[in-house]
Structure 1
Amino acid sequence: MKIFSLSIIFLVATLCLSPPPALAKRHPGGAKAGNGSSYLVLINGKTFREQNADLRRPPASLTKIMTALIILERARLDDVVTVSRAAAGETGSRVGVRRGERFRVRDLLAASLIASANDATRALADHVAGSQPAFVQLMNERAHALGLGDTRFSNVCGHDQKGLYTTARDLVILTERALRLPAFADLVAQRSMRIQTATGRRTIAFHNVNRLIGRYAGARGVKTGTTPNAGQCLVAVAERDNIRVFLVLMHSRKRWQLAPALLDAGFARARAENLQVVGRRENDAAAP
C-alpha cells in the first residue's frame, strides 16, 4: 500500500509540473520569442508585432547584409578577386577558398550570402577596400547615410567583437535597401549554388543555411546569423497572394520554430483584415 501511495503522488506531481500538450505546442500568437529576444514583424511595411526592437544587440552574420550592400555598390559582379591571406585564414563558417585563388565577385558574394562564408566575405572586403579596417569604415559611413542611429560595425563577417551592434528596427531599413538590388534579392532566395574559380579548375558547392528557403511557402530570403553572444538571428521575408511579411529575429534560442510561427501569424492577420474589408464592402453594397 505504501509503494502504491508513493506512485500516485509521483504521478500527480509529474502531471502538475508538465505543461499541457496544447500549451507546450503553442506558437504566435500563441508563442513568444522569449523575454530575452528581439523581434519585429511587418505586414506590407506596417508593424504587426514587436519586442525589444530598439535594443542594441550583436547581429552575428546579419552583418553580411551591409557587407554585401557595400560590395554591390562599389564593385562589378564580373570583377575578379584574388583571395588574400587574411581571407583564407578566416574562422567560423567557410567554403574553403584558398590563398591566391581567383573568383568573380558574383561567386564570392553567393558564398557569403547563401553559405554565410566568412572566407568569401573577407576576400570581397579586402578586394574593395584593401583591408578590413578600411572596409569597416565604409560600412559605418553607409550606416550613417541610411540613418541607422543604433548600428555600428567593427568587422565585416559578424564575429563577436566590441563595437558591433544593431537593432531589429535598423536591420529592416538596411535589408530593404539591399533588397532593392536585383543581385542581392536573387542570391538570398537561392536554395543552393555551385561556384568556380576564375580559371574553372575548382568547383565549390554549398546550400543555403537559411532553412526557410525551399521549405516555407513564399520564403524569399534573407539571412541567418549565429554566435555565442548574438544567439540565433534571422532576417526573413515571405510573400503570398500580394501579402509580404518581413521578420527580424535576434538573440533567439529556437529560431526555426519561432520564425515560421511569427510569419504564419502575420499572414493570418493579413487574411483576417482582408476578409473584414471585403465583408464591409459587401454589406455596404447590400445596404439600401
Structure 2
Amino acid sequence: MRKALFIGLWLLANTVQATTAQPDPFPEVATAYLVELNGKAIWAKQPDRRLPPASLTKLMTALLVLERTRPDDIVTVTPSATHETGTRIGLKTGERFHVQDLLAAALLPSANDACQALADHLDGDETGFVARMNQRAHELGMRNTHFANACGHDKARHYSSAKDLSILAHALLKYPSLLDVTSQRKLQIATLDGQHRYILESKNALIGRYDGAIGIKTGYTPNAGKCLVAYAKRDGNAVLFIMLHGHDRWWDAVDVLDLAFDHVREMR
C-alpha cells in the first residue's frame, strides 16, 4: 500500500513538474538523503548539508585500508583499540589478525575496536590516521566532509554530506572484495594462532532480506540518528541510497529502493 501510494504521488508530481530534474518523493524519510540509479542521482534532499555520519565514517577507514594494505597483512591489536567505546567485539591487546578479518569486523557489526586497530596499523595513532582521512576526502572532492576520529563518534567538526558519501561509496565500489564482505549476514574470524574466535553479525537488516541488497554500511549515534548507505543490484541495475538522520530506516529504505527499481521500468 505504501509503495503504491508513493508511486502514484511520484507519477503525479512528475507530470506536473516535467520541467524539473526530479521531484522529491520522500521528503520525510531523513534530514538529508540521496538516491542514485546506475550512477545517476534521481532524487535528493539537502544532499550537501553537513551532518554527523556516525559509523558511515568507517567507509573512509575501509577505503584507506583497501588502498594501502593487502588482505593478508598482519595487524596487532593496540591498547588504544581495546579502550575504544561503543560497539566492540572485545579484542584483546596483542592479538594478531589478518587485515581482511578486522576490516570485516569494522564493517559488519561496526566494531570500533577493530576500526581503531586498523587505524593504528596504518598510521601508528588516531591523530595521524585522521589527518590521512581528511587528506583523502579532499583528494576525492568531498567538499562538505571533515573527520575528527576514525570510527564515527559524535564530535565537533566531524561531519559529512549525502553527496560526499556517494563519492566515497563509488570509490569503495571499485573493490569487489568489499561487497563480498558487506553482502554477508554472518562471518567468523579468528586470531592467527587460532586461540580466539569472533562471530560477526551484520547490522544491515536489508542483507539477506531485501532482494539484491549487497551493502554497504549502517550507522547510529544519538546525535547522528539513523544513517545508512544501502547498495542493491537487480537485473543489471544498481541503486545507491544514502540516508543521514533517518527515521523509520529499514521500512523507508525498502520503499526507496523499490521505487528506484520501478523507475527503471518507467524510463523504458
Q: Does the C-alpha gap of structure 1 residues 35 and 265 become closer, same or farther in structure 2, counting only changes over 3 Å?
A: closer
2:30–2:244 Cα contact (<8 Å) kept: no
Q: Does the C-alpha gap of structure 1 residues 195 and 35 become closer, same or farther in structure 2, counting only changes over 3 Å?
A: closer
Report the TM-score, using the length of structure 1 for normalisation.
Answer: 0.84
Rg larger in 1 or in 2? 1
Counterpart of 1:111 (choices 105, 110, 123) is 105
Q: CA deviation at 1:33?
A: 5.0
Is 1:237 aligned to residue 227 of structure 2?
no
Runs (5+) with no aligned partner, structure 1: 1-21, 275-288
Question: How many residues were matched structurally?
Answer: 253
1:41–1:247 Cα contact (<8 Å) kept: yes
Structure-to-structure mapping, 1:139-150, within 5 angstroms: 139-150=133-144
Counterpart of 1:54 (choices 28, 45, 48) is 48
Q: Does the C-alpha gap of structure 1 residues 35 and 203 become closer, same or farther in structure 2, counting only changes over 3 Å?
A: closer
Counterpart of 1:192 (choices 183, 186, 196) is 186
Q: Does the C-alpha gap of structure 1 residues 186 and 35 become closer, same or farther in structure 2, counting only changes over 3 Å?
A: closer
Letter in 1 for 2:193: T
Q: Report what 2:168 is aligned to.
A: 174
Q: Does the C-alpha gap of structure 1 residues 108 and 197 become closer, same or farther in structure 2, counting only changes over 3 Å?
A: same
Letter in 1 for 2:184: Q
CA distance in 1, matches of 2:119, 2:30: 32
CA distance in 2, matches of 1:73, 1:245: 24
Q: Report what 1:164 is aligned to.
A: 158
Q: Report what 2:119 is aligned to.
A: 125
CA distance in 1, matches of 2:211, 2:30: 28
Report the TM-score, using the length of structure 2 for normalisation.
Answer: 0.90
Q: CA deviation at 1:185?
A: 2.3
Counterpart of 1:137 (choices 106, 126, 131) is 131
CA distance in 1, matches of 2:56, 2:86: 14
Q: Provide the identity percentage.
A: 47
1:194–1:203 Cα contact (<8 Å) kept: yes
CA distance in 2, matches of 1:268, 1:36: 21
**DSSP-derived class of the 2:135 partner:** helix
Runs (5+) with no aligned partner, structure 2: 11-24
CA distance in 2, matches of 1:228, 1:253: 12
Q: Give the ranges of 4+ consecutive aligned residues of structure 1 lying more than 4 Å apart after TM superposition.
A: 25-31
Q: Report what 1:210 is aligned to.
A: 204
Letter in 2 for 1:75: T
1:27–1:258 Cα contact (<8 Å) kept: no
2:29–2:247 Cα contact (<8 Å) kept: no
Q: Report what 1:201 is aligned to.
A: 195
Q: CA deviation at 1:27?
A: 5.0
CA distance in 1, matches of 2:147, 2:258: 32
**DSSP-derived class of the 2:229 partner:** strand
